[in-house]
Amino acid sequence: MLGPMPPSRSEVTAAAARFRGIGSYEIQALDDDRYWASDGNGARGIAQVLRREPRRLVLLSRGEHTGPILGSISGSALTILNLEPRGDVVNPTLTAYVYIDNRVAAALARALIPSFGFVADRQLGEGLRVTAEVAEWAVDRSGGFCEWLAREPLPSARRARILVALPACSARLSPEASGRIQSP
């Protein structure tokens, strides 16, 4: 399964993770609420944002995973990501309701979840870890994120959303520069 990333910034998060060598996610916005994604390890699909709130995101996704043992298995998931601030940290809670199209694969998953549920937890945790590392890089003034963002080819609307969330970068970039860094 694909790791959770807030869709409004997921393209940038995935590109930054690839740039930093901490993830192999590919994410492409199809419109403001639909995204195509691949984890680089056999999982790919489309996610639709059903509800977007400041601390909650609800997604409906459909995709497939191709692996050496079971081949291609398709399914869908309703995913709820809650972000609860606690002091200087944010505690994410992810709930996923998954439907697997293949009856054999679904039965196998139900039977193995008690023993191998940690694999799914590890996958989801990996997505959150990558997102957290990119977020830490984005707020680290000496990390070069703003310079990287200025060079990254992004549609202006997507860049504007990132700049709203990162005032430090916003102050250094001008709309006229189309993504180039202003001199201090």
For residue range 69-81, list pLDDT tens digits in order.
778 889 998 989 8
User: Which domain covers residue 21, as residue numbers?
Assistant: 7-139
Residue 97 inside a domain? The answer is: yes
Q: Is pLDDT above 70 for 118?
A: no
DSSP collapsed to 3 states, the chain? CCCCCCHHHHHHHHHHHHHHCCCCCEEEECCCCEEEEECCCCEEEEEEEEEEECCEEEEEEEEEEEECCCEEEEEEEEEEEEEEEECCEEEEEEEEEEEECCHHHHHHHHHHHHHHHHHHHHHHHHHHHHHHHHHHHHHCCCCCHHHHHHHCCCCHHHHHHHHHHCHHHHHHECHHHCCCECCC
Please give the tally of structural domains in the chain. 2
pLDDT digits 0-9 by tens, 37-73: 888 888 899 999 999 998 999 999 999 988 887 788 8
pLDDT value, residue 58: 94
Residues 177 and 126 in one domain: no
Residue 1 inside a domain? The answer is: no
Q: Is pLDDT above 60 for 87?
A: yes
Residues 29 and 106 in one domain: yes
Residue 101 inside a domain? The answer is: yes
Cβ distance 49 to 59 under 8 Å? yes
Residue 88 inside a domain? The answer is: yes
Mean pLDDT of 117-137: 75
Mean pLDDT of 119-123: 66
Mean pLDDT of 121-150: 81
CATH of the domain at 124: 3.30.530.20
Residues 41 and 126 in one domain: yes
The residue with tokens 């001008």 is 174
For residue 162, the one-letter residue type is I
Residues 72 and 126 in one domain: yes
Mean pLDDT of the chain: 79
Residue 2 inside a domain? The answer is: no
Residues 59 and 125 in one domain: yes
Q: What is the pTM of this model?
A: 0.67
Residues 27 and 88 in one domain: yes
